[in-house]
Structure 1
C-alpha cells in the first residue's frame, strides 16, 4: 500500500484536528453549565483567541518593519533600530520569523490579554453569574446542552491553534510525510484557506484564485521508454542515458520559442539597456498577463499529460501552470540575449510545500544570479526578493541558456 492510499484512509492531521474540536464540546456536555467553569473556559478561549490576534499583529508588524519598511511610520521605525541589530537580522531573513516576530507576539499578547480580562470582569462575568442563578430549576439535560454550546468557541479556537502550529512547523521542516498529510487533509486545508492565510497575510495564496497545487510532474524514462526513479539532480545531467519530461514535454520542447514570441519580447524591453530592468519587465508582463490554469493543474495532478505545455502554448493561450510560466520566461529572456535558468524545487503555497519551478537571471553588471518567480507574481514581489528563500527550497538547475 503506497503513502497516498494510506493517507486517504488514515490521516493523523485530520484526526488530531477532529479530536481537538470535539474535546471541549464533550467536556462541556459532561460537566454541565457552571458559571465558574465557564469563566475558566472563557479565560482559556480568550487566551487562545488573543494569541491568534497577537500572532497576526506580530507577523504583520514584523514584516512591515523588518522586511518591507518602504514608507510611512514603518520606514521611520526601521531607521531608529540600531545598525548592529539590523546587520545581524539582514544576514538571515529567518531571524525575523524565529526571533523578532515571537518577541512582538509575546509583548502584544500580554498587553491584549490584560486589557480583555479587565473588560470581562466588568461586563461578561456578572451576566454569567446571573444566568447561572436563572438556571437553578432547569433540567440537567438542558444544562449539558448549554455547557456544550458555550464550548464551541473554545473548540474552534483549538482547531485554529493546531492549524497555525502545523502551518508554522511545515514551513521550517522538510518532513515529506508530514507535508503529504497536510496537503491531503481537507479540514486543515480549509482552515488554512479561511483563517491561517488571511491572518498570517500569506499574499501568495491570499491573492491567487485558488491555492496553487502540486501541478509539476517530472517523469524520467530510460532508452527503453520505461519510467525510472533517480534523483532529480542526476536526471538533469543524465548525459543522454535518460529522457526527462516536464509535464509531458522535454525541457527543450518546453522552452522552444518562435518568431512571434521573439519579436514581442524584444519590443517589450526596447529602450532598456539594463539587464535587470529587462528581466523585471518580462517578469511583470508574464505575471500580469498569464492566468493560472487550475483545470490543467488538476489534469497534471492525475498524471494526464495530454496537455500542451511550454512557452508557445502559454503565450498563445495566456494560461499555464508553474512550468509554463518558467518556460515562457526562459524564451522571452533568450530572445533578448539574457542568461537565464529554469529552476525546479518546492514552493510553499500557504498550506504545504508543493512541486514548483521558477527562474534565475544573470546580472552581468552585478555579477550574480537573481531569483524570479513569475507564477507567484500575484502573491507579491518575487523578483530578487529578500523573502524568496522563505517559501522556496530544494532548488535544482534544470537548464541554463
Structure 2
C-alpha cells in the first residue's frame, strides 16, 4: 500500500470522516453539517454527470433533436473558436454548465432536507440521550460513511481530470500503480462521466504497445552499414508489421471500389478496420509481461480479426497502400479513461486538401476518431514511426 501513494491518500480521505464521527460522537448538529457536506458532494456528482452529458450532446455530437437546434443557433464565430480550440469545451463550457446545474440541485436538496431529514436527526438525538458514549461514537462513525464514500468519488474524479491534462509522466505512473484509484475510476467515474470509449476499452494497460531498439548485428545482411540499430514494435520490425499479401490487397481494393476521393476511401478503410477487428486484451497483457513472441502486424490481424493498437495501425497501412493512399504510423500516448497509455494510430495524406489527417481505428468503438477535433484532447503525438 505504501508503494501506492495515491491509494494511501484515498484511504486516508475515506477514514478521516469516520474517525471524526467516532471522536465527536453522534449529535444532530454535527450530523447535519456532515450530511450537508455529503449532499454537496452528491449534488456535484449529479451536476457533473448531467453537465458532461448535455455539453457533449450540444457541442460534440449535436446530431439529433433539440441538441442540433441549439448548436445551429450558436453564433458561427463561437463555433469556429470552439472547433479550433476543443479544450475550451472541457475547461470552460463544461465547468460552467456543471456549476449552473450544481447550484440548482444543491438548492433543491437543501430545501427538502430542512423539511424532512433534519427533523429526523433531532428525533434520533433525543432517543440516544440515555445511550453510552461508546454507542454514540459508533453511531457517529457509521453516519459518516456516506460522506467518506462521496469524498472518495469526488477526489477520484479530480485525479482523473488532472490525469487527462497530463501534468507529468510521474503523476500518470502513480495513478496507474494505484489499484484503488483504477477500481473506483472503472466502476464509478467512467459510468458517471458516460465515457463510451473508456467503457469499451477498460483493459488497455500501459506498455501494451512496446518499442524495443537493439544494436544491429554485423551478421544481419538486411541492415545497411549506416544503420546501427533495429527498432522492433511488439517483436516485429515496422516493415514486417505493415507487410501485406494478395488477399488483403484484393479485399482493400474491392472495399473502396465505388469511391474516388482519398478521404472517402480512407474513411471506408478506417470504418472496416475499427469495427471488424476486436481489441485483444489477452495479447495486451502478454506484451505487458514482455512476451514479444505474439504475432503482430497486418497479416495476422486480418486473419484473426483481433489485435492491439499497433496491429490496427499496421492493417490500416496495408489496406491504404493497396489503394495508393499515403499513410503514416504515429506512436505516442492515448487516454483510456483512467490514465495515459502507450498507443499507436495513423495519419492519412488527403491530396485534394494538401494535408495530413489523424485517424485512430482502435478508438473507433469509442466514437468518431477520423479527422476528429478530439484528437488534441486524448492523444499525445510523440513521433512518426513510418511513412509510405
Same fold (TM over 0.5): yes
1:74 has 2:67 as partner? yes
Separation (CA, whole Å) in 1 of partners of 2:191 and 2:87: 21
| Structure-2 residue corresponding to 1:43 | 36
Alignment of 1:307-326 (within 5 A): 307-326=294-313
Distance change (3 Å), C-alpha of 1:158 and 1:134: same
1:392 has 2:384 as partner? no
TM-score by length of 1: 0.92
| Structure-2 residue corresponding to 1:230 | none
Gaps of 5+ in 1: 1-7, 226-237
Q: CA deviation at 1:314?
A: 0.8
Separation (CA, whole Å) in 2 of partners of 1:73 and 1:244: 51
Separation (CA, whole Å) in 1 of partners of 2:226 and 2:374: 35
Q: Secondary structure at the match of 1:98?
A: helix
1:181 has 2:174 as partner? yes
**Could you tell me whether the CA contact under 8 Å between 2:83 and 2:373 is conserved in 1?**
no
Separation (CA, whole Å) in 2 of partners of 1:40 and 1:213: 41
Alignment of 1:224-263 (within 5 A): 224=217, 240-263=227-250
Separation (CA, whole Å) in 1 of partners of 2:377 and 2:244: 32
Gaps of 5+ in 2: 219-224
Residue of 240, 256, 259 corresponding to 1:269:
256
| Structure-1 residue corresponding to 2:137 | 144
Q: Secondary structure at the match of 2:103?
A: helix
1:144-198 Cα offsets, whole Å, 9 max, x none, are 1111111111111111111111111111134111101111110000111011111
1:110-138 Cα offsets, whole Å, 9 max, x none, are 11101110011111111111111111112
Distance change (3 Å), C-alpha of 1:28 and 1:9: closer
Residue of 317, 320, 332 corresponding to 1:330:
317
- Matched positions, count: 381
Alignment of 1:377-388 (within 5 A): 377-388=364-375
Alignment of 1:107-256 (within 5 A): 107-208=100-201, 210-214=202-206, 215-224=208-217, 240-256=227-243
Q: CA deviation at 1:218?
A: 0.3
Q: CA deviation at 1:295?
A: 1.0
Distance change (3 Å), C-alpha of 1:174 and 1:254: farther
Separation (CA, whole Å) in 2 of partners of 1:87 and 1:262: 39
Q: CA deviation at 1:224?
A: 4.7
TM-score by length of 2: 0.95
